[in-house]
Amino acid sequence: MNENTFYKLDYYNLISHLKTYAVTQLGKNLLDKITPSPYIKVVSKRLAETAEAKYLLSSVGGIPINGVGNIDFIIEQVEKGIVLECDGLLQVCEFLRGCRKLKEFISAKQDYIPILSGYSLSITPLTNIEEEISQSISKGRIDISASKELKRIRRHIDIEQSKIEEKLAKFMRSHKSYLQDSFFSKRGEHYTIPIKSSYKNQVDGTVIDESSKGSTVFIEPKVISKHTVALSILKAEEATEEYRILAELTNYVYNSLAEIQANIEVIGTYDLIFAKGKYAVAIDGTKPIINNHGYTNIISGKHPLLTGNVVPFSLSIGKNYRNLVITGPNAGGKTIVLKAVGLLTLATQLGLFLPVKMGTEISIYEKIFVDIGDNQSLENALSTFSSHVKNLSSIIKQTNKSTLLLFDEIGSGTEPNEGAALAIAILEEVYKKGAITISSTHYGEIKNFSLMHPDFENAAMKFDPNTLEPLYQLVIGTSGESNALFISKKMGISSHILERAEKYIATKQYNLELIMESKIRTEEIKSETINVYYTKGDKVLLTELDQEAIIYKPQDDLGNVVVFIDGQMQTVYEKRVKLLIPATELYPDEYNLDSLFIDFKTRKFEKDIARGSKKALKQVNKEIRRPKSN
């Protein structure tokens, strides 16, 4: 199997779903590692294991495996010679207790679950280690009963602590006026009394700490110093003895590492098997019949990951025909059927029960290849079709007689005739190699080829003829009706046109007769040329520039027009000018059209001269007297 197959068929989603039924990290890790087996004996054993797990879960409701945790990291520490702390040893103890209880539980049911009970023989109960740890550690610390020496040390610790507390109580009674509070406390390993700062020099002892505001100092009185030294020595002896006990318990674990690691493997295997059993119970799954000669007969099957109101499908291949071509409407379920067949096959090879009816038979394959969806790669600039063909090329090279091929819209993505021809050639090639092939298509040529080939069969996805909605039902032995023709009939296209269309689809023999001459319009429609004559002041559009302008001079004999645009005159060919508004509609009869071609500043200056403006006359005289440059 390859990664593309797993990815396209949602295999990893199925594994993730199975992991939700595992209760230990051991089982989840094994589910990540397990792969579909191409060997029928392995698959048969896996299915038998799942059957026993389903029986056990259905009859007793659960198994005592929940408390068994993952101790791989702890075992690694032991292998490195690290002495375990109380927490690590308790986890080992819990694991060993879980192994013992599971072995007892399975052994009691061995007559009904022979395969699963066989695994329990590999579980070694390490009761001595379990008891040593549980007796030596209590409530997260080493128990006083773990050794006589520890018991002696802790008794002396209690004595010294009592003496310290008695002396502190006596000291506080005699120094009431110095006290900030009426109790003593521990600061680290020091017993201290809260003294008002103003009296700190009147108390014989060592200042250990002070309050944040400085109003209180915490002093260890000198009267308890002898006892605190003795207590420190006893604490050190206690730590030494506790470490010795932890090292001894860790050594017990180290000496039984081989048995513990074997137990870990068995517990993981049990959790994996019972995860498959829980999945079988959850989906009310059926154990499929299996073979290795390419025959698959799915009865009322569903996609393993789909939930809710899913329409089941039935499909048979490998006995009367080895190639199935599925046709039908877009979004009609063709791709889902392909994916479902592929994932049901992979699930079988994992040893899973399936969402199918009793009597379903699944073939085991060495290889499963799929070509589904758009594999366009932006990195190497392959087109969708190129990527599609590249995948097909790789599949063809690897195909053998133990291969299941699933092709979605084979030959699509290019010119239909070429695509259909290529698809048929590929189907022929993989057929010669002995593969089982299920493909979907829209191409009539492929349907016709399948109809004529004795080892091919057509199937169709049904749709409602009234609503034209897909029904997601697969019908073997028929090719899908042309939706285009069916819809055309519903929309009122004449039956004789549709009959001809069906004939053309089937025979490719087209009617090439010329129509009668009397049916042709012979009267020519003469084009009328409309000439536009421009006048000064017309508002026009310069089509090439997409800008408006004003006609200054109408067209001459050569068809050139002078226009005023952006304060300048330009000569333009009349075909590049379009009339927007004639001057007669823009200006009154007496309007001075020449003023259109002079900017505002110049027009104002001329008006000022006409009315005798002194400022304007002065400017004229100034211009007259200005020396001309050579």
Place of tokens 């057929």: 431
pLDDT at residue 205, rounded to an integer? 81
pLDDT at residue 35, rounded to an integer? 96
pLDDT at residue 597, rounded to an integer? 77
Give per-residue pLDDT as tens, 334-343: 889 999 999 9
Which long-range CB contacts under 8 A does 188-195 form with residues at least 24 apart?
Answer: 189/228, 189/232, 189/235, 190/220, 190/228, 191/164, 191/165, 191/220, 191/224, 191/228, 192/218, 192/219, 192/220, 193/168, 193/218, 193/219, 193/220, 193/221, 194/218, 195/219
The closest of 34, 605, 22, 38 to 278, measured between CA atoms, is 22
**Do the beta carbons of residue 218 and residue 187 sit within 8 Å?**
yes
**Do the beta carbons of residue 297 and residue 371 sit within 8 Å?**
no
**Do the beta carbons of residue 269 and residue 25 sit within 8 Å?**
no
CA distance linking residue 197 with residue 216, whole number of Å: 5
Give per-residue pLDDT as tens, 110-154: 889 999 999 999 999 999 999 999 999 998 899 999 999 999 999
The closest of 324, 209, 347, 338 to 276, measured between CA atoms, is 347
What is the layout of strands, in order, in the sheet containing 190-196?
Answer: 185-187, 190-196, 216-221, 205-210
Percent of the chain surpassing pLDDT 70 = 86
What 3-state DSSP class applies to 361?
strand
The closest of 201, 172, 194, 188 to 228, measured between CA atoms, is 188
Q: 367-371 and 313-317 as β-strands: parallel, antiparallel, unpaired?
A: unpaired
Q: 568-573 and 367-371 as β-strands: parallel, antiparallel, unpaired?
A: unpaired
**Do the beta carbons of residue 569 and residue 549 sit within 8 Å?**
no
Query: Rg of the chain over CA atoms, in angstroms?
Result: 48
Give per-residue pLDDT as tens, 94-122: 999 999 999 999 998 888 999 999 999 99
pLDDT at residue 276, rounded to an integer? 97
**Do the beta carbons of residue 540 and residue 563 sit within 8 Å?**
yes
* Per-residue tokens: 81: 């010679």
383-414 as b/e: b if 16+ CB within 10 A: eebbbbbebbeebeeebeebbbbbbbbbbbeb
CA distance linking residue 20 with residue 476, whole number of Å: 36
Q: Which residues contact 273 (CB under 8 A, 6 or more apart)?
A: 49, 50, 52, 53, 116
Which stretches of the chain drop beneath a pLDDT of 70? 67, 329-332, 374-383, 465, 467-470, 479-487, 490, 504-530, 599-630
